[in-house]
Every structure is written in structure tokens, then in C-alpha cells.
Amino acid sequence: MSSFSIRTQFPRMLNPLAKALAKRQAQGGSLVDLTESNPTRVGLPLPEPGLLVTPAAFSYEPEPAGLPSAREAVASHLATRGAVVSPKHLILSASTSEAYSWLFKLLCDPGDNVLVPAPSYPLFQYLTRLEGVELWPYRLPRAHGFGLDVEAIAAARDVRSRAVLVVNPGNPTGHYLHKGELAALAELCADTDMALISDEVFSDFAWDEEPDRVATVAGHSLPMLTFSLSGLSKVAGQPGLKVGWMHVGGPMAERDEALARLELIADTYLSVGTPVQQALPGLLAHVPRFQAALLERVKENRRRLVAARPAGATWDLVPAHGGWSAMLRIPQEPGEEATCLALLDEGLLVQPGYFYDYDGGAGLVLSLLPPPDVFEAALSPLVRVLGR
């Protein structure tokens, strides 16, 4: 048998929930999917298709950091969010996942580690391992509303920690970074020579206003290297149009060296398609229409979820301020997996909290993306099962 890299030696056994779902689908059972994360499948506004079909789409101008016109469009988009940045400090990639792989190449040698929040995306364990980098979690305490605890980050690091990763707002926790948290984190990073990677793909989707909220670290004057990541997948609801962006900030000498090295990495792959770069100004012009519709959708679905909770129920919603998901705290007994299986028997698919390394008791994660009538149909079985 051929030898394979240990980096790809991931467990592939199906868990009981995946087995039960496969069985139900094979039997043709109906299903209401509250794990839906694809905005192109839930009836939200789409860009004009003609944006991608132009004669210029067949030209090729290899620009490692991205076409100047595309980077200027991203800089203009960030300016509408209050971040004044230079297009020269932006690097385009095919996705935020690819941007992570480039950053781990830039910052880490094999065996180094990056500090990653928990709960958060399950994706990070794959991205780090594929780069030969270790993932060290730091807990987001429930007592702080899943806000940043810099002491927990400091306790998690060691001499081989190269970067701290924050997700702003948290996914699925919906907590935004605040100025005091950023200031404390900046001091720690500067003192320990760690970079800050800020995943801001959900940053535009705030449900409310908060004092001292930090929507993006781009444009902030900070004493360490900073990388803020986003892209069309969430910002414009177009995961199939493969383009993401990162802004590089920090002390001038370090920033410029990071940009030069990232340009070399990007030149090695040249992964971003020409048509989508040329269409980027038009695609970003579509953003306000898409985001207004999405925010109306998720806020209405969350309102319905709150209204459906019976007085005295043993389950509750985790407080949150943005994103596309809702987290529920549920009783420890029968717990996450048994509850998900019971809901699946009722034709309702949700995610258990352990998918996101949630350790605040037992929890469920629900997508707020489905159309309101679909979401409404899910509430009766949800309340019935959780009330058992």
C-alpha cells in the first residue's frame, strides 16, 4: 500500500447523526434543514449574471496580489465600513480558507502553533493540520458572553505560538470584538511576537448596535502584524464566485515584508479567476441589496425562535449580536446527540454544539438562513422535542 502524509490522516468514520441522516435520505424521508449555510439556495437576491460574461473575461493579466481595479474595489467597500485602507495593502485569494493556508505558510514552520477560539468553526483543525501547523484552542468563556478572555489566550500560548486567530463576530456565538478586548490582545501580541488573524466574514451582519464594537481590525494602528480576512462568499452571498481578500496591517517594516512574501506565495498559485476580479466592482455594488434582505431574514427568524420558546422551558437562546446562526442551550440529559437524533426522527436537521467545540453544557446550532415559512415549520417539532 502507498504511504500517505500524516497531514491527511483524518478520521472518516460516520458519527451516529451522520448515519441516521444517510438512512433517512436513502428512505426518501422529508427533511427541514436548519443546517443550511448556502445563501444561494434560500431565495435571497442574486447579482446580475451579465457581470461575469464580458469579452474582457477571456483576457489574462497575472497580478499576484490581485488586479489593481479589484483591490481598489475592495478598498472602496471597506471604506463604507469605516476602514480607510490602501489597495496596496490588500491581497486577493480564492477564498478565506486559501488565505489561511497562505498565512500559515507565511508565519509558521512545521510544528509551530496558532491559537484558535473555542467554540468556533470546525474547519480550523483541517486547515492547520494540512499545513503541518498545530492548533491550540483557547476557550471563550460563556460567562463573558463568549467574549475574548486575553488571560485565557496568554495561558494557552507557548514559545512556538505564532499567531492568535479571532473570529469577529464569533461563529456560531455571534459575539463581536470590542475595543477593550482588542487593546488587551494587541498588548499581548506585541509582547510575545504573535500576529493577529481576524476572520471578519460575518462582520457586516450585525443585528443591533453596541458601544465600542470593532467591526474590522483593518485600518487600525496596532503594534503587531494584523491580517483581516473576508470575501464574497458571505459579504455578497456568493460562495461559488471564488474571491476573498486580506488586509495586511501593523508596523510598516513588518507589514511591507509580509506583503512581499505573500505576493510570492500568491504568485506561486495565481488562483483567483480573471472574470470574477473584473466583475468585483459590480458584485460589491450588489452587496447592500443582498445584505439588507439577509439581515431582514435572520432577524425575523430569530424573533420567531424567541417567540416560540414556552415560558419556563428548560432550553434557551445564547445571547448574540450578529451572524447567520442561533445557539441553543439545552439540558445535559439526554444531551446533544440524542436530541439531534430525536429531532431527525421528526424530520428536522440541526447541528450539535460539539461540532463547534462547544463546552458550555449541551447545545444546538441552528441556521437562520431558511425562508421564514420553512423556519416556521421547524419550530413545532423543535419545541415539542425540547419539551420532552
Position 118 pLDDT exceeds 90: yes
State the pLDDT at residue 351.
Answer: 96
Report field, pTM of the whole predicted structure over 0.85: yes
Position 212 pLDDT exceeds 70: yes
Report pLDDT digits (tens) over 15-32. 899 999 999 988 887 899
Output the CATH code of domain 59-285. Answer: 3.40.640.10
Domain ranges of the chain: 14-44+287-386, 59-285
State the pLDDT at residue 1.
Answer: 54
Pick the CATH number of 14-44+287-386 from 3.90.1150.10, 3.40.47.10, 3.40.50.1970, 3.40.50.300: 3.90.1150.10
State the pLDDT at residue 145.
Answer: 80
Least confident segment among 22-26, 293-297, 383-387: 22-26
Position 60 pLDDT exceeds 70: yes
pLDDT bucket at 180, cuts 50 / 70 / 90: very high
Distance (Å, whole) CA 118 – CA 120: 5
For residues 275 and 52, the answer to whether their CB atoms sit within 8 Å is: yes
One fold for both 14-44+287-386 and 59-285?
no
State the pLDDT at residue 143.
Answer: 75
Position 155 pLDDT exceeds 80: yes
Position 315 pLDDT exceeds 60: yes
State the pLDDT at residue 55.
Answer: 82
pLDDT bucket at 262, cuts 50 / 70 / 90: very high
Average pLDDT score over residue span 276-305: 97
